Amino acid sequence: MFFPEVIEMSVPRFWRRIHSLYRLEGNKCSKCKTLYFPERNRCIKCNSNEMEPFFYSGYGKVVSYSWVYTPPKGFKSSIPYCLSIIELDEGPRLTTQIVAVDQDEVSIDMPVEFAFRKISSEGEEGVITYGFKFRPKGYPNHKKKKK
Ligand code: ZN
């Protein structure tokens, strides 16, 4: 069984995790093989703390989505944006933003792929936080395939 998790990341936590952000790395319980994204220190299924790195394919599908018009602080420049729950091909679900789509393009079960993008910048110093977002699978040629 897998649990959706909301991804929120402070700057220090981001720097600790930068390598996993580039490659969509989570981890796997060595004992019962349950997959996690983001990674966990302990398996919530069997309580083992024997965890190993696991690299996801970066592909998944849309489970649910919503267009956001009233964003939290720091997101104003990108409204409206599509907030979605994605189910990775390997099973885990995560909350993320879908980019490079028009409002009439997004649908349930739409195939998507990992895209490394800027998420927000803080203040005038411009500390930019990067992280994962998703886009239509096959982008930028995803539209041609439909027609
Ligand atoms: Zn386990």
Shared-domain flag, residues 71 and 137: yes
Shared-domain flag, residues 139 and 100: yes
Tell me 5's DSSP state: B
Give tens-digit pLDDT for 77-97: 678 889 999 999 999 999 999
Shared-domain flag, residues 72 and 113: yes
Of 2-16, 73-87, 117-131, which gets the smallest average pLDDT? 2-16
Q: How far is the CA of 39 from the centre of ligand 1 (A)?
A: 13
Comparison of pLDDT for 17 and 76, the residue scoring more: 76
Q: Classify residue 66: in a domain, yes or no.
A: yes
pLDDT at 4 exceeding the cut of 80: no
Other beta carbons within 10 angstroms of residue 101's beta carbon come to 21
pTM: 0.73
Q: How far is the CA of 123 from the centre of ligand 1 (A)?
A: 41
Q: How far is the CA of 77 from the centre of ligand 1 (A)?
A: 41
How confident is the model at residue 141, as a pLDDT? 84
Q: Which structural domain range is residue 132 located in?
A: 59-146
Q: How far is the CA of 46 from the centre of ligand 1 (A)?
A: 4
Shared-domain flag, residues 44 and 71: no
Shared-domain flag, residues 81 and 141: yes
Distance (Å) of CA 20 to CA 14, 27, 38, 90, 108:
10, 10, 9, 16, 27
Q: Classify residue 5: in a domain, yes or no.
A: no
Q: Classify residue 32: in a domain, yes or no.
A: yes
Give tens-digit pLDDT for 16-70: 655 555 678 899 999 999 999 988 999 999 999 999 999 999 999 999 999 999 8
On the CB side of 105, how many CA atoms lie within 13 Å of its CA?
Answer: 18
